[in-house]
Amino acid sequence: MHLPQEITREIQRWLGSDYDEHTRQRVQSLVDDQKESELMDAFYTKLEFGTGGLRGLMGPGPNRMNQYTVGVATQGFANYLNNTIKGQEIKVVVACDSRHQSQYFAQITAQVFAANGCRVYLYPALRPTPQLSFTIRYLACHAGVMITASHNPKEYNGYKAYWSDGGQLLSPHDRGVMDEVNRIGSVAQVRFQGGSQRIETLDESLDQVYRDALHQLSFDNGFVARQSNMPITYSSLHGTGITQVPQTLARWGFANVHVVDAQAEPNGQFPTVIYPNPEEEEAMTLCLRDAAAHKAVIAMATDPDSDRVGLGIEGPDGRYALLNGNQIASLLVDYVLKLTQENQAFKPGDYVVRTIVSTPLIDKIAHKYGVQVYHTLTGFKYIGDLITRLQDNQRFLVGGEESYGYMVGSLTRDKDAVVSCAFLAEMAAYYQDKGMSIMDVLINLYLEHGLYREKLVSITKKGKQGTEEIADMMARLRRQPPSTLGGVAVVQVWDYHTSTWWTPETSQQGRIDLPKSNVLQFVTHDGCTVSARPSGTEPKIKFYCSVRGNLTDKACYQATLAKLDAKLDAIMGDLLAG
């Protein structure tokens, strides 16, 4: 093997006495089998906090999720908490999803916090990510950790770090924690033992508290009771949703919920899907099949940590089809604002939020109701931070992002598939009560505001070389932005890394009032938007495109869709070819 010297030194460290025998054996096996590329990727760098935590493949090495990287991250987090919060006992909540080693990593996290003097509230078994966010706020804790890799493949796990507001870490806390982590020169500095008496196991009473709090948000004034037997299909995709979604739907009065049995058991192997991601049509196959069998009005599936939800409905042709994240977000925003208006419950300063890569249809809907719209960077941590910053003067009603994450009300500071499932079911019941389908409502939105169509193209680039290739792609787009896309001139370029936008023809410039982020956006003369963004949690670069067409007649829906899809293909073809 021809590994760089610094990687060889790191491998030797992991073969030393600071690491347990099983770990040393696994590293030695990689060396003996000359797994050069695997060793390179596992040891060339350390896992770093992306969107508020760690995420990576499981296995030995500093660039992998294992008990040592989890321990070092927690020691750094504990050091930061102890250095930042003085004169009071620090309280932390820890929870986990159904992934391999999640419960083990959660126990290590709790033990390291406890050994550093923190009071730890530990969920004894899997719970949804939004429930962790709620619990931090409910118990007035200073921080929290969720062991999950969300919707990633089964080989991954992760570590989401939260602050006292229930949102994922943001500046300066994220950088402060990483600085503390980087100061740890050896796993011998991690306190893995001591203080177990400071760990308190949470009981099921908090599950009910969470469900009761969510139900207080309901708009139901009797229509759910009239539609209580409306058939609903739900799948937890082998994840945490099984602990809360069926129970929450029952709490809201839905009595005809069919759980997809083959996917109900929590299982980190995710045996019935390729990827446990409701964004993927393949992952929703069993859910849609069950929906067709029971003639369900809606079919919903949540990802392993239950912060994302996919939605399927029966189309005009009788077949069940999936809505995309932008469509679901638009429907939720319209429903919440419509019912708030019907109940005469608007307050001055009410607002909704979407991310910069989500559909502009949300803006159109909000403006119809006279409600302000805020845009944030991609990642729900920015939505959560905005809610916290505005909580004393303005009320958050609803928000979402194209990647199947939504939130209604401000009980949490992270996307919440549990409350989203409840509101999607309530929305379906509301329209059923009026003799309308979800598809009817969606097409009416398009008739009123224009037919918005979006496309996401993700390109995966694994390992060290992949990271460099993604960086090169972004650098090229900055040096040579496209002049046309789909045959239409690009009239604006937005670079969120430099916080600057400009017009290529006139050289007019402006400032972007958002935190810096490695995102580029190109706006064409006819209002189409294309965004390029490397993922903060996966080895991917993502390209988002949004186009709009006029829909004047319901009968023209499919033909207009086809035209917009062709336009999307032309735009993305130009971008990727360049």
On whether the CB atoms of residues 540 and 461 are closer than 8 A, the answer is: yes
User: Is 535 assigned a catalytic role?
Assistant: no
Q: Which helix (H) or strand (E) holds 84?
A: helix 67-84
CA 392 vs. chain centroid, Å, equals 26
> Nearest Cα to 541, choosing from 576, 490, 498, 573?
576
CA torsion angle 371 377 378 381 (round to 10): -80
> Nearest Cα to 536, choosing from 101, 108, 55, 57?
55
Q: What is the pLDDT of residue 318?
A: 83
Using DSSP's 3-state secondary structure scheme, residue 30 falls into helix
Counting every residue written for the chain, the total comes to 578
Q: What are phi and psi of 308, to 5 degrees?
A: -125, 150
CA-based diameter of the chain, in Å? 72
Class of domain 210-449: alpha beta
Domain-wise residue ranges, the chain: 45-203, 210-449, 451-577
On whether the CB atoms of residues 85 and 136 are closer than 8 A, the answer is: no
Bridge partners for 515 per DSSP: none
> Nearest Cα to 372, choosing from 346, 353, 399, 358?
353
Strands 351-355 and 396-401: parallel
CA–CA gap between residue 285 and residue 321 (Å, rounded): 10
Q: What is the pLDDT of residue 51?
A: 54
Q: What is the pLDDT of residue 310?
A: 97
Inter-axis angle of helices 417-433 and 438-449, nearest 10 = 90
Q: What is the pLDDT along the chain (578 residues), one digit of tens a residue?
A: 788 899 999 999 999 999 999 999 999 999 999 898 899 999 998 887 655 689 999 999 999 999 999 999 999 999 999 999 999 999 999 999 999 999 999 999 999 999 999 999 999 999 999 999 999 999 999 999 999 999 989 999 999 999 999 999 988 898 899 899 889 989 999 999 999 999 999 999 999 999 999 999 999 999 999 999 999 999 999 999 999 999 999 999 999 999 999 999 999 999 999 999 999 999 999 999 999 999 999 999 999 999 999 999 998 788 899 999 999 999 999 999 999 999 999 999 999 999 999 999 999 999 999 999 999 998 899 999 999 999 999 999 999 999 999 999 999 999 999 999 999 999 999 999 999 999 999 999 999 999 999 999 888 887 778 888 898 999 999 999 999 999 999 999 999 999 999 998 887 899 999 999 999 999 999 889 999 999 766 678 999 999 999 999 999 999 999 999 999 999 988 888 76
| Catalytic residue, candidates 98, 102, 133, 150 | 150
CATH code reported for the domain at 451-577: 3.30.310
Specify the CATH superfamily of domain 45-203.
Answer: Alpha-D-Glucose-1,6-Bisphosphate, subunit A, domain 3 (3.40.120.10)
Q: Which helix (H) or strand (E) holds 276?
A: none
Could you check whether 45-203 and 451-577 share the same CATH topology?
Answer: no
Which residues, 6+ apart, have CB-to-CB distance to 15 below 8 Å? 24, 27, 28
CA 159 vs. chain centroid, Å, equals 13
DSSP conformational letter for 556: G
CA–CA gap between residue 407 and residue 133 (Å, rounded): 12
* Residue 148 token pair: 């999950």
Using DSSP's 3-state secondary structure scheme, residue 118 falls into coil
Q: What is the pLDDT of residue 507?
A: 79
pLDDT digits (tens, 9 = 90+) for 171-217: 889 889 989 988 998 999 999 999 999 999 999 999 999 999 999 99
